[in-house]
Each structure stands twice: as structure tokens, then as C-alpha cells.
């Protein structure tokens, strides 16, 4: 079992366990407390053993972007009341990133905040969203426009869940791992370059290594900037365009695939601003292609700009943009929205 700990100054810590049996530890860790399990319907049958405990309430929902709404949050909060949860209760989110977002949001509100535990079951949630405390819901006007910061006390990761994940979901998680390697960890990047065949075959040892390295890099950032006022913006590499694409597509394209397309655009911005060497940019593009993330055509610029303009990272006429500056390096920079619009128009011709 691999153990990590995320402890930002003056913030609640998160203990992370990575390995076989991590989820089975829940009954012992939660002994004597009420556990409200918010469970993704696609993996509920694989977690049935947890239901044997007398203090478990089981609430199954179908994951997906449509779940991240205020209406969904109200239904979960009311179910928590009906399950007789109290301020000592634990909300355990078992599933992918959308289950984690909804569960974290509800845990932050119920009784003014109860303990949250994450058991991520998708690669994307394992390498990124389960650690760091950010929760978010969507509005019709855009993705992740409302949310809270509510770190999980326990993050329980069993990489074996990834073996049965659909291919689109698995590739979505790989895109987030590529983001972490490009922006923060050259050693992770070199692992992804060195072993694409084994990684695409879902080699268990390599998957555990990818999860471990990705989270270690993220924790190093979050501990310095838990509330995303500076350095933590680096974790948004590829997400500025990625979120706009998701919102335009109304959540039909998996998050990571949109982020991968956003990485192509981030490299274009970096070239335009002369912040990255051409050799590194070409190396990054080559890796994206090796993992099946082609530079796909974009929607018309005028259809994307309303979502970019409402991005939560916008301040005035600029947006806080995560800019790749080399392999394993990036920097946050305020980039004029007009420049982004110009680059999009140049690419799409519209």
C-alpha cells in the first residue's frame, strides 16, 4: 500500500492510500459512525460488501456531467436527512469525477460541513479530481461555475477498478496524466513516453506508478496554494479551452478528451508567446498523437467565446492561463482574451 498525505497550512489534511484493499478498509476506519455512500451505478455491484455494515446508507446515482446540478445536490442532501445523517457522519463518494464533485459539494453543505471520503474508480478521478478539495457543479451558462473547497479526509484508491473502465473513460484519465507530466513532472512524462504500449494495455504496475506520480505532483502544488490564488492554476493546463469545449458540447465528450484538445491549444498559445522551445512543443504533440489524441477540428470561434468569457479564471479582459514552458514545466500567466480569440480564429478560419 502506498501512503501519501496532503497537508496545506491551516487546512484539513487528506490521507491517501493507493493499492489493493484500500476500499475494504472503510468499515474499520469508519467504525461507530454513519456512512452515507454516494455510489456510481456502473460500479455499485462491485462494492456490495460494504453494505453489510449496519451504519451504511447506500445511494446509487448514474454518473456523468448531467449529475452536476443544483437539482441533483438537493436530492442527495434530502436523502442524507432521510438516512439520519448528522454532523459526525461521513459522505463516501464511490465513483468517477462527477460523483466526487457532487459528493464533495453536498458534504461541504450538509450540517455546515461533514467529513468527506473519496473512493475514485476511474483513472481520471484517481490521478486528479479526488485530491485537492475542489468541488463543482455546472450551470447552463458554463462548467464548474459554482462550487466549494472541501478536501477529503480519506482518499482510498484501488487501481484495479481501472481494468474494467470503458476505453473512452480510460483515455480521458490518460489525458489528465499527460497534463500532469507536461506541466509539472518530467519523470512522469518520460514514463509516458517510454511505455505507451504497456500503458495502453493497462499494465497494473504502471497504472499504480502513474497514479502515484500524478498525485504526488498535484499534492506538492495544492499544499502551497490550496485556494487557487496562484500556483494551483497550473493544474488547469489544457482546461481553458477544454472546459469551453465541454460546455459547448453539453458534456457529451469526456472531460479528458476535451482537456487533450486543450493541450494542443495551450501549446499554440505558448508558441505565440515564445514561452516554449519548438523542440519541446513538437515532443508534446508527438506524445499526444501516440496516445490517440489528434488535433481535431474546433467549433466556430463565435460559439466558443461566450464560454471562454465566462470561465471562472477570467479577470477583466484577461484569463489566468496555465502556459507550458517546457517538458515538466509551466507557469501561470494572464493572457488577453482577445489573443485567445485571435488564435482560435486563425486555426478554425471562423
Instruction: Clarify whether 243 is annotated catalytic.
Output: yes
Q: Is 3 a catalytic residue?
A: no
Q: Which cell numbers hold the place of 66?
A: 448531467
**Which residue among the candidates 150, 213, 232, 248 is catalytic per the annotation?**
232
Catalytic residue among 218, 233, 313, 320: 218
Catalytic pick among 118, 134, 212, 233 = 134
115 is catalytic: no
Query: How big is the CA angle at 279 (ends 276 and 283), to the nearest 5 degrees?
Result: 100
DSSP H helices, 223-254, are 239-248
Q: Which three cell numbers stand for residue 344?
A: 482560435
CA 221 – CA 274 distance, rounded (Å) = 25
Active site residue 255: yes
Residue 155 near residue 15, CB atoms below 8 Å: yes
Among the listed residues 112, 252, 278, 315, the single catalytic one is: 112
Q: Which of 34, 150, 236, 313 is catalytic?
A: 236
For the chain, what is the radius of gyration of the CA atoms? 20
Which one is catalytic: 17, 239, 248, 320?
A: 239
- Please say if 310 is a catalytic residue: no
Provide DSSP, 11-74.
S--EEEEESTTTGGGHHHHTTTS-EEEEEETTTGGGGGGGGGSTTEEEEEE--SGGG-SHHHHH
Residue in 158, 228, 246, 261 annotated catalytic: 228
Concerning whether 347 is annotated as a catalytic residue, the answer is no
List CB contacts of 31: < 8 A, sequence separation 6 or more: none
Catalytically annotated residue among 65, 176, 223, 246: 176
Look up 176 and say whether it is catalytic. Answer: yes
Out of 171, 212, 213, 255, the active site residue is: 255
279 is catalytic: no
Q: Which residues are tagged catalytic?
A: 112, 134, 176, 218, 228, 232, 236, 239, 243, 255
Amino acid at each position: 500500500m502506498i501512503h501519501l498525505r496532503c497537508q496545506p497550512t491551516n487546512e484539513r489534511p487528506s490521507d491517501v492510500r493507493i493499492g489493493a484493499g484500500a476500499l475494504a478498509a472503510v468499515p474499520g476506519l469508519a467504525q461507530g459512525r454513519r456512512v452515507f455512500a454516494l455510489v456510481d451505478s456502473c460500479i455499485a455491484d462491485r462494492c456490495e460488501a460494504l453494505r453489510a455494515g449496519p451504519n451504511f446508507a447506500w445511494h446509487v446515482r448514474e454518473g456523468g456531467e448531467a449529475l452536476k446540478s443544483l437539482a441533483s445536490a438537493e436530492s442527495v442532501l434530502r436523502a442524507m436527512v432521510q438516512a439520519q445523517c448528522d454532523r459526525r457522519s461521513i459522505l463516501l463518494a464511490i465513483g468517477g469525477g462527477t460523483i466526487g464533485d457532487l459528493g464533495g459539494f453536498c458534504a461541504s453543505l450538509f450540517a455546515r460541513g461533514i467529513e468527506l471520503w473519496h473512493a475514485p474508480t476511474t483513472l481520471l478521478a484517481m490521478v486528479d479530481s479526488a485530491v485537492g478539495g475542489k468541488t463543482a457543479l455546472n450551470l447552463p451558462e458554463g462548467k464548474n461555475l459554482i462550487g466549494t473547497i472541501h478536501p477529503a479526509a480519506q482518499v482510498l484508491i484501488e487501481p484495479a477498478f481501472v481494468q474494467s473502465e470503458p476505453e473512452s473513460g480510460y483515455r480521458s484519465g490518460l489525458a489528465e496524466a499527460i497534463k500532469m507530466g507536461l506541466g509539472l513532472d518530467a519523470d512522469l512524462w518520460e514514463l509516458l513516453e517510454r511505455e505507451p504500449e504497456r500503458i495502453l494495455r493497462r499494465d497494473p504496475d504502471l497504472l499504480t506508478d502513474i497514479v502515484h506520480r500524478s498525485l504526488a505532483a498535484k499534492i506538492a502544488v495544492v499544499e502551497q496554494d490550496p485556494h487557487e490564488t496562484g500556483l494551483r492554476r497550473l493544474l488547469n493546463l489544457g482546461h481553458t479551452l477544454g472546459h469551453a469545449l465541454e460546455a459547448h458540447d453539453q458534456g457529451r465528450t469526456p472531460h479528458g478528451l476535451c482537456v487533450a484538445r486543450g493541450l494542443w491549444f495551450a501549446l499554440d498559445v505558448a508558441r505565440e508567446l515564445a514561452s516554449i522551445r519548438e523542440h519541446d512543443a513538437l515532443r508534446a504533440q508527438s506524445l499526444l498523437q501516440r496516445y490517440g489524441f489528434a488535433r481535431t477540428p474546433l467549433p466556430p470561434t463565435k460559439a466558443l467565446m461566450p464560454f471562454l468569457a465566462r470561465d471562472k479564471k477570467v479577470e477583466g479582459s484577461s484569463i489566468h492561463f496555465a502556459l507550458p514552458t517546457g517538458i515538466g514545466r509551466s507557469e501561470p500567466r494572464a493572457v488577453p482574451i482577445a489573443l485567445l480569440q485571435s488564435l482560435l480564429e486563425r486555426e478554425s478560419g471562423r
